[in-house]
Amino acid sequence: MQRRFARLSLLIGITVLAGFCTSALVLAQDGDVEMQVNSNPKPMYTVLPPRLRSDVIVPAASLQSWNGSFTYNGSNYTYNMVGTAPSTNVTTTIPVYIVPIKIVITSRRTKYTYDPSHVLSNGKTVISNTIASPVFDSTTTYTQGGVDVGTTQYIDAFQRANFWSTVQSAQNYHLLLATPTVLAEQTLNVPSNYGTVGSPFGFQAGLVDINYFDAQVQSIISKFNQIQPNSFPIFVTYDVYLTESRQCCIGGYHSSEGSASNPQAYAQFTYIDHPGDFAQDVSALSHEAGEWADDPLTVNPNGNNTPCGILEVGDPLENEANYGDYAYTVNGFTYHLQDLAFITYFGAPLSTSLNDWYSFQHASLSVCSNGS
């Protein structure tokens, strides 16, 4: 009887242990090791430190850029921006490559896919609707405070207004983005410790660690010989926010990588298909394209220094009402583009920019009032 009881106890112990191990495995597979994210979302954008190397072949082509400076409170500040100086009265067109990034996240045995090939309510894919937006479309006339700054693209209109004291008599000056070339979609099957799903703004979104994501982006850049420093590669995700140190939610970022003497600038943005939410449609793209234009992180890889910090023209407006977005309707679709800060906000003479304003949409600001 004691032997039978001992065998029975042993069998029960093995069964319990096996059940525990199976349960532990299921828990791990079901998300026990998933990336953890703070419960309080913070809408934001960021810039990542460039990852530059001196042991790589230096590309022949460089990003067209120009240098300028201003004095504030007795100190001189220099900056480097994309294109040519407004005083040259010439047009610069930058080649653009769009790389769609499909994100696949497995959470508790359920696979979630966030694909920029998704067809939107207007019948266009995320990518085609992005290309049709005012960031690339040149049919919108921008009249700011009664002044027509041009029928052009959004970033060009901003930059013309940014240096309106010069551009008003140099009307051939433009900074244009070429019609994008769409490269092959790339799929990231995100490891559970770098990705999860959540509803930070009421809809289900993919959440991916930015440092994991950026490492994949740099690997992807090396796959495409077309991407050279004289171009602007843009990586597009759909309904995905990036996270950093467990904090959500990053709508986009920009950085540079590659050769230390001839860096490759690039940007990422997410297309959020939920009106009114953070980074809706091309809002994040307008933010990051504006910051790439005025702080490309190539000649000055650590950023253009100003009294406010680095010259990130989108960040001071991202916490304004409606996340700083303004509506523009093109081809029957209403897009939302973020206001961008003029160089006057960062300390340049107020007369530099349109109407002595501090931002393209005339936000209520003063020098460095919203930080950088």
Report the candidate in 239, 269, 244, 270 with the shortest Cα–Cα distance to residue 255: 269
The letter for the amino acid at 83 is: G
Task: Give the domain ranges of the chain.
Answer: 1-32, 36-356
Rounded Cα distance, 288 and 242, in Å: 14
CA distances from 177 to 130, 156, 304 (A): 13, 8, 22
290 close to 313: Cβ distance less than 8 angstroms? yes
Rounded Cα distance, 14 and 11, in Å: 5
Rounded Cα distance, 185 and 212, in Å: 18
C-alpha of 258 from chain center = 19
Half-sphere exposure in the Cβ direction for 314 (13 Å, CA): 28
The 8-class DSSP code of residue 299 comes to: S
Rounded Cα distance, 356 and 372, in Å: 20
Max CA-CA distance within the chain? 105
Taking the CB of residue 239, how many other CB atoms lie within 10 A of it?
22
271 close to 238: Cβ distance less than 8 angstroms? yes
pTM above 0.75, yes or no: yes
**Cis status of the peptide bond prior to 249, with omega within 30 of 0:** yes
| 140 contact partners, CB below 8 Å, separation of at least 6 | 134, 151, 152, 154, 157, 328, 330
Question: Locate tokens 């010259």: which residue?
Answer: 311
pLDDT tens-place values along the chain, 372 residues long: 333 333 434 333 444 334 433 333 334 344 457 899 998 999 999 999 999 999 999 999 999 999 999 999 999 999 999 999 999 999 999 999 999 999 999 988 899 999 999 999 999 999 999 999 999 999 999 999 999 999 999 999 999 999 999 999 999 999 999 999 999 999 999 999 999 999 999 999 999 999 999 999 999 999 999 999 999 999 999 999 999 999 999 999 999 999 999 999 999 999 999 999 999 999 999 999 999 999 999 999 999 999 999 999 999 999 999 999 999 999 999 999 999 999 999 999 999 999 999 999 999 999 999 998
- Alpha carbon dihedral 306, 44, 265, 133, in 10-degree steps, equals -110
Run of H or E residues at 206:
strand 205-209
